[in-house]
Each structure stands twice: as C-alpha cells, then as structure tokens.
Amino acid sequence: MCRFPLRVLVLEDHSFQRRLAVSMLRQLGCREVFEAADGAAALALLQEVGPVDIALCDLRMEGMDGLEFLQCAGDTRQVGSVILSSSLSADVRRSVRQIISLLGLEFLGDVGKPLCMEALQALLKKHLPAPATRCGPAPAPERIQEHELRRALQAGQLQPYYQPKFDLRTGQVRGVEVLARWVHPGRGLLSPAAFIPLLERCGLMDALLFGQMEQALDLQRQARSQGHALNLAFNLQAAQLTNDELAPRIKALLKRHGAAGAGLTFELTECGLLQATQTSIKNLVRLRMMGCYLAIDDFGTGFSSLQRLCALPFTEIKLDAEFVRALGHEPRCQAAIASTLALGRALEMSVVIEGIETEEQRQQLLRLGSTTGQGYLCARPMSGGQLLHWLGQQRICA
C-alpha cells in the first residue's frame, strides 16, 4: 500500500538538515526523494530526473537561492507544489508565499525549522487526491460546455447555498452569504470554480444572480415566519454594475416579494472597483437608496484604495481569510486585522472576518475587538432546507 506516492525534491544547503529531511520523507513513504544543496544543482537534477510533485525548499543559501530556483522551476513547470522550510522571519516568508502563488505554484505550507515529522506529514496529505485515487493519478475533470450550463440554469440545477455570518461573542446568526453550487445529476455537487468562469464568459452572471435572489428571498420569508431575521448577502461582479438595468431589476424583485432592501447585502471584490464607471457608481448609490448594504469583499488581497473606500457608499468590510490563517504566528497579520477594525470604526462600517475555523482564532479576534465573523467554526455552506433546520435547532457557535 502506497502511503505517499510522491516525488519530492529537498533543496537545503545545510547537510545535516538536508539528510534529516530526506530521512523523514522516506520514513513517510514518499516514492522518490531527491536532494540538492543549492538552486543551480536542483535545476540540473530536475533536468536529469524530470518534474517533481513537491519541492521542500529552504530560501537562503550560497549560490542560487531558493527564490530564484522557484522562479525558474515555476517557468518550466518542473515543480508542482512547494513546502517552505526556512528560518527567515515570518514577514519575509509571508511575502515569499505571495510570490509562490504568483508563479502559479501550489503552496502547501511552511514547516519552519527544525523540521517536525507530524507537520511535514500533514502537508504531504494536502497534496494527495481523494482517498479512492491516492495510489493512482486523479482523472481529469470533464470540460463543461456552454449548452450544458445553459440547460442547468433553465433546469434549476444551480442552487443557492448559505453560509452564516455570526456574532463572535454570542454565536448568534447575523445573516448569511448566498453561494452558488451546481447540483449536477451525474457529477454530484460542483463548486463555483467549476462553472463560474464559464458563466462569466457567456454573460450569464445576471441570470445566476436573479435566480439565486428569487430562491433566497423565498427562504428569507420562511425564516422570518420562524422568528429568524436573515440578511442575505449576494456576490456582485464589477461587470454587472455597468448594466443600467441592475438596480431597477433588483427593486422590482424586492417589490414582487414584499421584501425590504435592508434585508440584502451586495458584496464586491476590491480589485474590480479600481476603475469604477459612472454607471457603476450610480448603481451602488441606487442600491444604497433602496436600503441595501454594500460590502467590499476579500479586503486586503487587492491594491486597496482608501480614496475609493471613502468615495463609494460601502457599509461593510470583509477581511480576507488569509489574515486569520496567519493570525496565530504572524504579528503583522494581527496588526493588519486590528488596523482594519479601527478603520471600520472610523468610517462607521462593520467589519466581517472570514475564514474562522477554530475556537482559538475566535478568542484571538475577540481580543482584537472583532465582533462578526464567518467560517467553518460556525457552519459550512448548506442548502436552504438544511439552513432552516439548522436555525430551528438554535445551534450557536459560542
């Protein structure tokens, strides 16, 4: 039985550390383990043995350093994923992680130094496909065709799923984000990554939005009848804001459902707002005039403009989950979260922290002054029926 059917390259200039890493990887059952003392030697080795699944990579070394090696390996696609093993400061390693992502490489994690076998094993597991295919290559996903997607929209297969936003102090639900899932008759439940890019190319994002809104407003009414007031948060793209008919269509939909604009939030990513057009700004203003709330999503991942944040009528900041993942070991992330919370208070905007998965993270965020969050600690995305049942059980996260 193969435990880790992986080809791994260890790039480490310290001979003892390199031997230790190679020994651990072999004990963990990696299929092939290669080693090199600097980047140039590692590139020469890859030319000889072929691509590897993972590079366990130090950064600072004589000759070609780890960063230059990753640049070259990324360009030639000789490395699939990267595990960092470095004693450099946390802020430097965090910047390197961003570079790894920009190079198109998968970042599995940072084991630091000295190496720990348990931590290394956990990161190797992240690279593996589903258990049923661990000892063989994963089958390539079938390409989704436009006609198939249009048929799915008409058949109601693209369903809204709901993930709660919760009060970090009490665990009470403050609202839900409405997410798209494709309930495919043959492939099961598909995530947005499988179909949203095609929806964008085909100009079908409005069809998805209004289909979701129809179903979600019905659910909001059912929840209200059970004593639960739910704010519904929908994702909007910058391209959708350029449509003059967007706000009037939303207004008509609310009127037909007898719903208030104050029960809706629209979330927009900051990167899409760098070149807001006149029509985009008018749509945002009209949504606010209807009583709807506006959130700037994935805050901190793009090139934020404070001028834009002040000029556009936002009411909420959603801080990206990456800051929470690094909360326990990177002081700069703690400072970024605290600064964003202070910014929200100064601008009279609420701040929602995404990606909360552990009780420790919740307690840390409370100490920093955060009050609202979203993540698996409270609940995963669920169907409408599951959400009503979940609310009926009065489950809380505190």
**Residue 199 placed within a domain:** yes
DSSP tag of 382 = B
Q: Please answer whether residues 322 and 301 qualify as being in contact, where contact means their C-beta atoms are separated by less than 8 angstroms.
A: yes
pLDDT score of 142: 56
**Residue 139 placed within a domain:** no
pLDDT in tens, 240-277: 999 999 999 999 999 999 999 999 999 997 666 656 67
The string of DSSP codes covering 314-358 is --EEEE-HHHHHTTTT-HHHHHHHHHHHHHHHHTT-EEEE----S
- CA 104 and chain centroid, separation: 16
**Domain termination site, one of 77, 112, 133:** 133
Residue 162: give the domain boundaries.
Answer: 146-392
Q: Do 265 and 357 reside in the same domain of the chain?
A: yes
pLDDT score of 263: 97
**Domain termination site, one of 106, 133, 160:** 133
Average pLDDT of the chain is 86
CA dihedral 344, 267, 257, 389 (to 10 degrees): -90
Q: Do 251 and 294 reside in the same domain of the chain?
A: yes
Q: Do 77 and 169 reside in the same domain of the chain?
A: no
pLDDT in tens, 189-232: 888 888 998 999 999 999 999 999 999 999 999 999 999 999 99
Q: Do 163 and 74 reside in the same domain of the chain?
A: no
First-to-last alpha carbon distance for the chain, in angstroms, is 42
How far is it, in rounded angstroms, from Cα 23 to Cα 200? 48
106 φψ region: left (φ > 0), alpha (ψ -120 to 50), beta (else)? beta
pLDDT in tens, 325-376: 888 777 888 999 999 999 999 999 999 999 999 999 999 999 999 999 999 9
Q: Do 106 and 186 reside in the same domain of the chain?
A: no
pLDDT score of 359: 93
**Residue 318 placed within a domain:** yes
CATH number, position 153: 3.20.20.450
Q: How confident is residue 106, by pLDDT bands cut at 50, 70 and 90? A: confident
**Residue 140 placed within a domain:** no
Q: Do 254 and 170 reside in the same domain of the chain?
A: yes
Domain total for the chain?
Answer: 2
pLDDT score of 326: 82
Q: Do 10 and 92 reside in the same domain of the chain?
A: yes
Q: Please answer whether residues 146 and 353 qualify as being in contact, where contact means their C-beta atoms are separated by less than 8 angstroms.
A: no
Catalytic residues: 354
How far is it, in rounded angstroms, from Cα 396 to Cα 332? 31
Q: Do 84 and 189 reside in the same domain of the chain?
A: no
Q: Please answer whether residues 159 and 181 qualify as being in contact, where contact means their C-beta atoms are separated by less than 8 angstroms.
A: yes
**Residue 398 placed within a domain:** no
pLDDT in tens, 3-60: 667 899 999 999 999 999 999 999 988 889 999 999 999 999 999 998 999 999 999 8
Q: Do 318 and 257 reside in the same domain of the chain?
A: yes
**Residue 56 placed within a domain:** yes
Rg (CA), the chain: 24
Nearest to 33 by CA among 61, 15, 59, 54: 54
**Domain termination site, one of 133, 166, 197:** 133
CATH number, position 33: 3.40.50.2300
Q: Do 299 and 172 reside in the same domain of the chain?
A: yes
**Residue 138 placed within a domain:** no
**Residue 41 placed within a domain:** yes
Q: Do 125 and 157 reside in the same domain of the chain?
A: no
| Collapsed DSSP state (helix, strand, coil) of residue 151 | helix
Q: Do 201 and 89 reside in the same domain of the chain?
A: no
The structure tokens listed for 307 are 């001028």
The CA-based angle 244-261-378, given to 5 degrees, is 115
